[in-house]
Structure 1
């Protein structure tokens, strides 16, 4: 016989030496008042009535030990058995059932604790289960015929099954929240269960957990059970075939609200949520997300389309945009941005994933494509209210651009790039619309630049040009300040470009030093007048102020070597000075694209400007032009300068 058998047969008390690690926890009961233990030993029934589950359990263990010994001794005398009546198997089984009934009721009321006394009773039940589990361990290794028929009792397993039933029952019977009007039975159902889950987990953390040994991780067990129950409920709901509203509710709980519950600091501190499976598997959540995104895209697209239609209808009806503080205003950007931003944020919350929500941002690209078409109509049809509409919408274009740049993370890179490209195109075409009107008005006055008449009265001709510009500047005051600044910046650059082009193109030449110095002085005075007038009006192109004076410096210098040095400085400051070659004009290549093609032989601007100095010999001119050579490193630097925006001479087209 084994040592364990000897121990059992000797009738020794198989008491618990230490509590084993539990894998389960507890549940719902009607509590009885706990009586103070008397100094004298209590009977089993007295312990049971006082909820002394541990002591009552020890008494049962002692009795089962004695009964087992009697059976192993093979006693045949009924008299001795009668003397041991209290240790009869039927009596032991009945007392154990009474014991387990009260322990079970205590566990079933685990989530209804209202006092410290009730917590102590629950703690007694837990310790009693641990004691039974330890007693089961004493019989491990015995053959079935060698151990009592009631062992193992598996109280721990029963305890876990009981808690699972308890959790399922509480979730199933979760009361509806009458304070919330959802108008959806599915929403009501999910909300009630989610609320029950949160309340019960917090009870476990604040009350129940203290009744268990720390190593038992009762909070994790309850979290696992509630997670499984909630997941099962949501799976049932997902199989109903949900309308769009209920689909949003379900996804919101899966991706947002549920995480909020688990991230409560009290719950998060005692549970490991990484152990939990997803509430819904991919094969269920995937189609729901697609349904939501499709619905949201359709909803957003319809709203944006209607907003643009209202704007176009107002333009067709000849309505003039409102003046706010003497500035034409349009609320299209406010409405569109608010609607778009709200839709994207909603998608992020419902899906719990910023990347997935980016799919909706494609609607901004579609909207701006339609907006660009409308914008082109306004420009081409030239209705009486077109100018005012374009001015009002310039501010919208600016605000759309700012929003997209600021919220770049909401857009996939290709969508963001396309949106900004569309907005830049609309802004440029609006600017071109207004500046072309100005240039058309100045066409006859432009012809006088660089002529003999200009040389005699350069200030008068410059003032004539600026006076005509001033008429248009008054109209631009109805633009929002930033839009006006950007438009005037383009006008400023184009005005100077046309000034330089006319100077290079006209037939007049300055044959001697005196005329060259006079022309240079006139150019500098014109430069001051132009720069002052346009920057005062709002242009922020302050860097343009040195262009004409630097060109004037080339006119004044007589020594070829000095001209080379001055030209070198000019080329360094304005890298595109020599790049407006014939192929750029004919094929409309981008300056930086054409740079490598025209690098060694594109000297159009230099040649055209120096040709104004007719006293410069052909050999000196050739030497000066041949000096315009740069290394590949310098070429890269100049390309960078052009990309940074300090480009002027690319606007000066010379044929």
Structure 2
């Protein structure tokens, strides 16, 4: 039978998937408004394009030469670019995009803004420090709009600012797309830019709300010429990038080497392992670097969870085979919540995120019902196939195996394994499902045992002449122990196990004993007849011959398990006592003198002790039979009717099936009793004296004529 395995078993010792969060390097640029036009505009722009018009108009015409000289002396490069960050801050207060420890530059009034070419060159080199001057340009553009600059000039300048923002955005989001490949300081710098852009989005939103409240014209005559560029929503774009990265990671082709697993199993194993390792990397390496309000763990966890759930939901739409139904439930109910969500490194973080289940409850219940139906049908089919193969071996006269000197059959082991694996599969999904399937499987086992009993009965009738007949009978009796023990162990309270579930095993064992003892009992029959044939002349010698015959045959049963060999000796013990009493009840012996009755009572007592001692020495635990012959001997020995009545009443408590007919047959031996005495003694059985708990059928097996 297919042995299903837990997919995450052994993952801790395997190598991790290389390149955790190793997202593709050739990421597409995110869309930007008029990006192509902005690039062209920037290539043609000069530093004068970014000088505020109001500042240019303030210079008198006569000072044009002086302005030209100042422009020529204007410093190039980015060394003095970052004075914009000091605008509106107290001295010494660092900017979010300014590297820690960088000294404050000279006062802003002495540092002109960089040119478009300088900003573009800096951004293309990945210099995120350009974010500060770019933000300053954006704000000055907004100030120029309020100052009445021409619409044409405003549009031209805004297109250049937006093109620069497109470059900055691609740089920042490109770094955040592959965060584990970025140096920590570099990553902090990108995050600082992202945070500053989010703050600027909020500030712009507040300003827009104030302008709307102030009414038309409050923003200035040129404000309407500017296209609203905020909110830019870079944080939202970053989250989309995380979702895309999660999809790319989980959709990657599974690594080879997962032999024996279906395609679906390999895919889900790959997704589970990837998600676990990636989220562990996020918690350990990214969480300390990201701002708390970004909640990087939740962003990645939710993206991975959504894609994982989408994959399972898509798969659940199809008609699944048994194996894939089981696999789906294992992931949804066990592996995902236990091995990923509640794994030691992730539990504290992901429990806070509250990702939920991969599938809705109703769909899970439908899948569980399908699984139970599939599994029960599979167990039924496998058990039937195992019995069929075993029956074929019996019919083909294949000798049973020997294990520790006992006849052994693999059938019981196969059946127990089939049942146990079915329950283990259900428990590997949830313990609750394991409880559900346990009772159903026990009923299936009981149905199998009835089929087993019928097949064994057929074998007993049809295969008597086969050489290995007795060996196979013994092997099947031995099977009963494993099967009974398995049922009792699986039942929550063995005392509550319905008796009818075990009846087939009891019947099988009984039929097996009858078959094994048939020849012995046949040999004993003529020996017991000697008691009546000789009129009990020499009962000791006859009994000695009987016990000797039994002793010679007992080795034939040595291949039974010890417990069953003891039970079989108990059956022999019962047979010896029953046949002895049967001979006493034949009414062929009538003793009229007290001496004759006492002599016979002595023989019966001695024979009873001999039978009890012999059977106990050979393993019989039928202690309840020890009173059967000695107390009958006492009834025959006593002469006072009152004393006999007391003895009969006591005897009836040990053997409640001791009837008036049996009593009459014994009293017939006492030829000196009157019919009135016999009637009086028989009447004592009309009164119920109760019965010992250990009492079992004895006299109901004895027919009296």
How far 1:299 moved relative to its partner? Answer: 5.7
The 2-side partners of 1:378 and 1:568 are apart by 46
Aligned to 1:400: 483
Aligned to 1:206: 284
Question: 2:329 touches 2:368 (CA, 8 Å); kept in 1?
Answer: yes
5+ residue gaps, structure 2, are 1-86, 91-96, 114-118, 220-227
Aligned to 1:232: 310
- Please give the residue correspondences for 1:312-323 in structure 2 after superposition, counting only pairs within 5 Å: 312-322=391-401
Residue deviations 1:119-140, cap 9 Å, x none?
6457647865775687589679
Query: Using a 3 Å threshold, how does the CA distance of structure 1 residues 156 and 76 change in structure 2: closer, same or farther?
Result: closer
Query: Using a 3 Å threshold, how does the CA distance of structure 1 residues 114 and 499 change in structure 2: closer, same or farther?
Result: farther
Aligned to 2:29: none
Question: 2:184 touches 2:289 (CA, 8 Å); kept in 1?
Answer: no
Question: 1:438 touches 1:469 (CA, 8 Å); kept in 2?
Answer: yes
Query: Using a 3 Å threshold, how does the CA distance of structure 1 residues 184 and 309 change in structure 2: closer, same or farther?
Result: closer
Deviates more, 1:92-101 or 1:453-462: 92-101
Secondary structure of residue in 2 paired with 1:467: helix
Aligned to 2:101: 37
Residue of structure 1 aligned with 2:270, choices 192, 196, 207: 192
- Please give the residue correspondences for 1:89-108 in structure 2 after superposition, counting only pairs within 5 Å: 100-108=169-177
How far 1:427 moved relative to its partner? Answer: 0.9
Secondary structure of residue in 1 paired with 2:271: helix
- Please give the residue correspondences for 1:92-131 in structure 2 after superposition, counting only pairs within 5 Å: 100-110=169-179, 112=180, 116-117=184-185, 120=188, 124=192, 128=196
5+ residue gaps, structure 1, are 1-11, 16-32, 582-602
How far 1:485 moved relative to its partner? Answer: 1.9
The 2-side partners of 1:566 and 1:122 are apart by 106
Residue deviations 1:386-444, cap 9 Å, x none?
32321222112332222332334799x99x86652222211111112233443333223
Question: 2:578 touches 2:701 (CA, 8 Å); kept in 1?
Answer: yes
Query: Using a 3 Å threshold, how does the CA distance of structure 1 residues 123 and 274 change in structure 2: closer, same or farther?
Result: closer
Residue deviations 1:25-49, cap 9 Å, x none?
xxxxxxxx99543131699979996
Query: Using a 3 Å threshold, how does the CA distance of structure 1 residues 76 and 426 change in structure 2: closer, same or farther?
Result: same
Question: 2:395 touches 2:459 (CA, 8 Å); kept in 1?
Answer: no
Residue deviations 1:276-302, cap 9 Å, x none?
444344676677667766666666555
Question: 2:400 touches 2:472 (CA, 8 Å); kept in 1?
Answer: yes
How far 1:165 moved relative to its partner? Answer: 3.1
Question: 1:126 touches 1:212 (CA, 8 Å); kept in 2?
Answer: no
Secondary structure of residue in 2 paired with 1:264: coil
TM-score (norm 1): 0.71
The 1-side partners of 2:189 and 2:442 are apart by 58
Secondary structure of residue in 2 paired with 1:266: coil
Indicate the structure (1 or 2) with the bigger Cα radius of gyration.
2
Q: Is 1:489 paired with 2:570?
A: yes
How far 1:177 moved relative to its partner? Answer: 0.7
The 2-side partners of 1:330 and 1:452 are apart by 46
The 1-side partners of 2:499 and 2:314 are apart by 43
Residue of structure 1 aligned with 2:517, choices 432, 435, 438: 435
The 2-side partners of 1:274 and 1:526 are apart by 84
How far 1:482 moved relative to its partner? Answer: 2.9
The 2-side partners of 1:545 and 1:269 are apart by 70
Aligned to 1:426: 508
Aligned length: 580
Q: Is 1:523 paired with 2:604?
A: yes
- Please give the residue correspondences for 1:16-35 in structure 2 after superposition, counting only pairs within 5 Å: none
Residue deviations 1:611-631, cap 9 Å, x none?
655666746963784487459
Secondary structure of residue in 1 paired with 2:559: coil
How far 1:141 moved relative to its partner? Answer: 8.1
Q: CA RMSD in A?
A: 5.0
Residue deviations 1:219-263, cap 9 Å, x none?
455433322211211233344555555555444434444343334
TM-score (norm 2): 0.66
Aligned to 1:22: none
Residue of structure 2 aligned with 1:369, choices 450, 454, 463: 450
Residue deviations 1:326-370, cap 9 Å, x none?
543333333444455445534554687324645566654454333
Aligned to 2:411: 332
The 2-side partners of 1:139 and 1:394 are apart by 92
Residue of structure 2 aligned with 1:308, choices 360, 368, 387: 387
Q: Is 1:272 paired with 2:321?
A: no
The 2-side partners of 1:175 and 1:335 are apart by 39
Secondary structure of residue in 1 paired with 2:560: coil
Residue deviations 1:457-485, cap 9 Å, x none?
22222222222323432322233333322
The 2-side partners of 1:101 and 1:477 are apart by 86
The 1-side partners of 2:379 and 2:254 are apart by 33
